[in-house]
Amino acid sequence: MIWKVLYALGWGFQYSYIPTPMELQSYAVAMKAYADASPPGENMDAFTDVKDRMIQAYCEGATHNLSVNTRRSNVLLRATQIAIISFGLLLFSLPRFLFDSLHKDSEPTKVIISEPIRIKP
């Protein structure tokens, strides 16, 4: 139950982010070093590889964020449905509650003495 509450509060909705410029720079440097160390017969283009890596990171992040937003929308829809149902039940029970609370006839308090009161000296 606690996990569902924390999930609904947003702890279950971890978004994906694009790589930071430092991560891209270190990846580009590593790719450049790999391209320089590879044999001359291999046609390696570090710029194209970094560009492909960025496109892949954007696609993975967008797909992940779309699934997170879909789950979040489903949770919001479920909460809205439950709120509407509970409001309907409240409206259904309101007339009976008002009838009972407005028609309370409180009788005055009665004291019944069964024996005379005796005071001991």
How many C-beta atoms lie closer than 10 Å to residue 18's C-beta?
Answer: 13
Q: How many domains does the chain have?
A: 1
**How many angstroms separate the CA atoms of 59 and 51, rounded?**
12
Is residue 19 within 8 A of residue 10, CB to CB? The reply is: no
**How many angstroms separate the CA atoms of 69 and 92, rounded?**
34
Residue 47 lies in a domain: yes
Residue 113 lies in a domain: no
Q: Give residue 17's pLDDT band: very low, low, confident or very high (50, 70, 90).
A: confident
Residue 108 lies in a domain: no
Residue 7 lies in a domain: no
Residue 44 lies in a domain: yes
Residue 80 lies in a domain: yes
Residue 109 lies in a domain: no
- The pTM score is 0.57
Residue 11 has pLDDT above 70, yes or no: no
Residue 33 lies in a domain: yes
**How many angstroms separate the CA atoms of 58 and 51, rounded?**
11
- Residue range of the domain that includes 92: 14-102
Is residue 44 within 8 A of residue 1, CB to CB? The reply is: no
